[in-house]
Structure 1
Amino acid sequence: MTGTIVVRAEQPGLGRAGTFSVVVGEETVGRVDQGTTARFPVAVGTHTIRVVGKDRSRSNTATVEVAEGQDVLVTAQGTGLKAAVLLPLLAGVSVPPIYVVASIALIGALFYAVPGLLFRVRAAVGDAAPPATRGPHTPEEEHSGTSLWWETDPALAKRFRKDATS
């Protein structure tokens, strides 16, 4: 009895796309490139999943429940904090270089020590299906891709008095 964990690694906003190692439980099951989707067959049951970057920085851990023949979507996304390494360089003109080097080393150690600071994984909530298994799209889905992001979120649409389905 098996199911599938589908890992979608979103394309980074800035910089080059990297490769994540996918870890289910304590076992590395494969790799996924940013901007692509990879499928990993697993046994039925509850699993923990995380991704690890080439620099050994880890994501947070997400717990997923896999049923027989079910595809569970997990998204890996960068947090954008990698640019924080550049901040000490901006201050480098007014402080001694040793402080800049020490700050970069401290930020790097912090990113390595705390899982989930550089990138995060999240499991799909509700009946969200992976893109390959999703049925025909509705006109609302087609419209939501071209509308403003706050209009597609029901909570924000209500706040700004916009109907999310129009």
Structure 2
Amino acid sequence: MAAGRQLRPWDPPLTDAGVLRAWTVGKRIRAQAAADGYALHRVLVSPFHRCLQTAAQAVAALCAVPDDAALAAVLDSSANVPLDTSRVKGVGSSVACFGATGMEVYEVEYCAYAVLEKQPGGVGGGDESVLKVVADRSGPTTGIHYLVT
């Protein structure tokens, strides 16, 4: 689509190279944070589309399990340790949707993070606002897998 005909020509999506670069930077930040002994708890980002795409890839890389032979050895050696599932607490995934459009989640496999989008002014020009999970974030790179209708 030509830039002049886009709904928001000032806010184009990331290119494939930009997606790869965001993932790579996220991996570098994860490695440096681990080396320095600190953890990241929040990522603040501008609401522009390409900024959200960059943050989604960077956070996916931050949350990705590193390919580490030592870690694999630890996992293999602990295979005989029973896991008490009554003591394991899972983080629930929530989907909030207000307004005329309904979203129903049937299954959530794992939730690493969720991107929320606030639409000022609400649906139909009212004063209410709409919070919704951005559905195109579902997939293997985000850690979120869900079915919606």
Instruction: Compute the TM-score of the two structures, normalised by the length of structure 1.
Output: 0.21
Question: Quick check: which one's helix share is greater?
Answer: 2
Question: Quick check: which one's strand share is greater?
Answer: 1
